[in-house]
């Protein structure tokens, strides 16, 4: 192989490696996946069961805690629509949001509570403000019923 061909092959290999690294870095900094959301909710449910509601809700509401990752955070709703814990906005804790609607008029908290009571675990679609981009975006929320609450974590699409 002559030197010119070797150089071009090496340059191509470096370029491909750089693209792979860039893609990996973009994924690491990008939106959470449905797999990550499901795992985070299951981890939150286990934490609440192991440590009790008070400790569990405090940790879920801690923005620097283990239940916040990029645009993924957990929220706990009582089955009457009252927020018990919120990983992105602690001002929501204690508020009853049963009548809250998204930009399309969907009463998503009411629907979420009804789904928790009827299904136990489920995915739900609606629109909500992404805490990273500050824009209203389509969101899918995974929830699991735990006693008289729904523990939820979602992904932006």
Tokens at 130, concatenated: 């992404």
Q: Are residues 19 and 37 in the same domain?
A: no
- The rounded distance, in Å, linking the Cα atoms of 53 and 149 is 10
Q: Are residues 69 and 17 in the same domain?
A: no
- The rounded distance, in Å, linking the Cα atoms of 152 and 130 is 15
Give the pLDDT score at 30: 82
Q: Are residues 53 and 103 in the same domain?
A: yes
**What range defines the domain where residue 9 resides?**
1-30
CB–CB of 37/123 below 8 Å? no
Tokens at 111, concatenated: 């629907």
Residue 85, beta-bridge partner list:
76
DSSP-assigned letters across all residues of 48-99: HHHHHHHHHHHHHH-TTSTTEETTEEEEEEETTSBEEEESS-GGGTT-B-TT
- The rounded distance, in Å, linking the Cα atoms of 3 and 30 is 40
Give the pLDDT score at 132: 85
Give the pLDDT score at 29: 54
- The rounded distance, in Å, linking the Cα atoms of 117 and 20 is 44
Q: Are residues 79 and 136 in the same domain?
A: yes
Q: What is the tally of structural domains in the chain?
A: 2
Q: Are residues 13 and 79 in the same domain?
A: no
Q: Are residues 47 and 122 in the same domain?
A: yes
Q: What is the pLDDT of residues 47-78, one digit of tens each?
A: 999 999 999 999 999 999 999 999 999 999 99
Give the pLDDT score at 28: 46
Q: Are residues 15 and 64 in the same domain?
A: no
Q: What is the pLDDT of residues 74-90, one digit of tens each?
A: 999 999 999 999 999 99
Q: Are residues 51 and 79 in the same domain?
A: yes
CB–CB of 102/128 below 8 Å? yes
Q: Are residues 39 and 7 in the same domain?
A: no
Mark the ranges of the chain whose per-residue pLDDT is less than 50: 3-28
pTM of the model: 0.80
């Amino acid at each position: 192989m002559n030197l010119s061909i070797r150089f071009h092959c090496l340059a191509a290999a470096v370029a491909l490696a750089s693209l792979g690294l860039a893609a990996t870095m973009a994924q690491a900094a990008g939106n959470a996946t449905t797999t990550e959301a499901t795992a985070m909710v299951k981890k939150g449910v286990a934490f609440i069961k192991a440590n009790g509601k008070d400790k569990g809700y405090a940790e879920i509401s801690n923005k620097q805690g283990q239940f916040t990752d990029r645009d993924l955070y957990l929220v706990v709703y009582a089955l009457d629509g009252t927020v018990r814990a919120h990983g992105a906005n602690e001002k929501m804790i204690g508020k009853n949001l049963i009548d809250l609607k998204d930009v399309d008029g969907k009463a998503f908290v009411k629907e979420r509570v009804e789904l928790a009571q009827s299904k136990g675990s489920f995915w739900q679609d609606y629109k909500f403000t992404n805490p990273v981009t500050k824009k209203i975006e389509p969101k899918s929320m995974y929830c699991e019923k735990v006693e008289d609450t729904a523990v939820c974590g979602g992904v932006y699409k």
